[in-house]
Structure 1
């Protein structure tokens, strides 16, 4: 990390980062380590989590524009979390927390069931080589994990610039128990709450269409 990122981690992490009990790996979550969101954020408010928050551009922008909502950034790369804290401090954001961990384990072990109002998966690693596609995040198993973490009527929002991954996401969630489409037609309209990030610009410059999806958690 840069010197500024090292400073952010040492000085800002106590305020922003949730110290999650670990399992075997450095980014794992110990089963049974569930937090109480009301205690962590110090209030009762809607809760939105972003998986793969990167450098935090989307979630810091969202948190600064919605002070009555709580936000959780989930990321495995410490440098990205450090940059997120720097930007959050600069923006005066107090409703954002971060966790350095594998996303499925956060949903399974750290967050209580039905605690999320929204879950965001924006531009996840496409693993575009055929031999690597099995590593993609959005699978039937992930859909079940997301369903458990979302409250009833909660929303799962996704976006990608890889057409075959967009089709896979749509197929998986169309077939998943406990979800229904929150859009009409082939694709959801672009989510207004998603700030334009470097990933989206890169995809657009490469001539790739940006695909949005939104699914509602149902009983």
Structure 2
């Protein structure tokens, strides 16, 4: 697996190429391929691989003995059981959740994708104890750190799943079950040749649209202006979503204008005319999203933070 190539903090979710780089099994000739996978020919024969970017870069899973015990104690309850398919982070089609049974009551569901150490999940869940929260992450030590806080402070409305987010959306979350989906600081893959690995792509938004209720929200944040622009363009082009803050911060006050003027992404400042963002559409900072150590570091480095909020329309 490739190393994280933008930030070393585990707050980022990341993506892998949808190719033979991530083989997940050797199928028989007649074996059906589930949604989210495809068969490819390799030198070693036919393999099943994921057909789209995944939500992570797999990292070292070492944990302290105390957190290992905590993980074991909560597996099957706070840590949701998952039927696997072809890999350790895969999700089998029979894994659909019963929301009411899983949380013990019926309440709005918030899905936080790529939670890292879980700061945004924890802040949201403690601010809104009347809502159900699902933290999606493959970095087990990060989930274990969140679990430690959940256990020590007796927070009862968080559940966690160690799995690839697109497959969670495909197979675990029922259609129209979620009130909101959060994707904060997913890996920007800044080099042009790696843009295909970014999580926010049309296929991923199709998955989000499937699980969101009509009127439900997707909230995003990034500190990378090129990725922010791609997020905005991709969401604007998707028929299922509308920007809740159209034209907001367009012009000279746009963080995109400022990032271009200062060359924060590539070290190449643009002229005022070239830098101007005439579209805007940037959301106010989401009230429960905490400033993590990663975000504080980005701000100290002079980077701009971009928030976007879109609503599921039909």
- Measured against the shorter chain, the TM-score band is over 0.9
**Which shifted more, 165-174 or 128-137?**
128-137
Contact 2:223 2:298 in 1 (8 A): yes
2:150 corresponds, among 88, 112, 115, to 88
Query: How many residues align structurally?
Result: 219
Q: Which has the larger radius of gyration?
A: 2
Matched, 1:213 2:294: no
Q: Which residue of structure 2 aligns with residue 20 of structure 1?
A: 82
> Structure 2 CA distance, aligned partners of 1:15 and 1:112?
19
Q: TM-score, normalised by structure 2?
A: 0.68
> Structure 2 CA distance, aligned partners of 1:91 and 1:125?
30
> Structure 2 CA distance, aligned partners of 1:194 and 1:93?
17
Q: Which residue of structure 1 aligns with residue 109 of structure 2?
A: 47
SS of the equivalent of 2:72 reads helix
Kindly indicate which of the two structures has a greater share of residues assigned to helix: 1
Q: TM-score, normalised by structure 1?
A: 0.97
1:99-120 Cα deviation digits (max 9, x unpaired): 0000000001110010000000
- Matches for 1:131-170 after TM superposition, within 5 Å: 131-170=193-232
> Structure 2 CA distance, aligned partners of 1:166 and 1:2?
36
> Structure 1 CA distance, aligned partners of 2:75 and 2:118?
14
> Structure 2 CA distance, aligned partners of 1:129 and 1:7?
40
Q: Which residue of structure 2 aligns with residue 32 of structure 1?
A: 94
1:183-216 Cα deviation digits (max 9, x unpaired): 1321111111211112211211121100000000
Q: Specify which structure has the bigger relative contact order, considering alpha-carbon pairs within 8 angstroms and separated by 6 or more residues.
A: 1
Contact 1:64 1:91 in 2 (8 A): no
Q: Which residue of structure 1 aligns with residue 295 of structure 2?
A: 200
> Structure 2 CA distance, aligned partners of 1:194 and 1:120?
10
1:120 corresponds, among 174, 182, 196, to 182
SS of the equivalent of 1:16 reads coil
- The Cα RMSD (Å) is 1.1
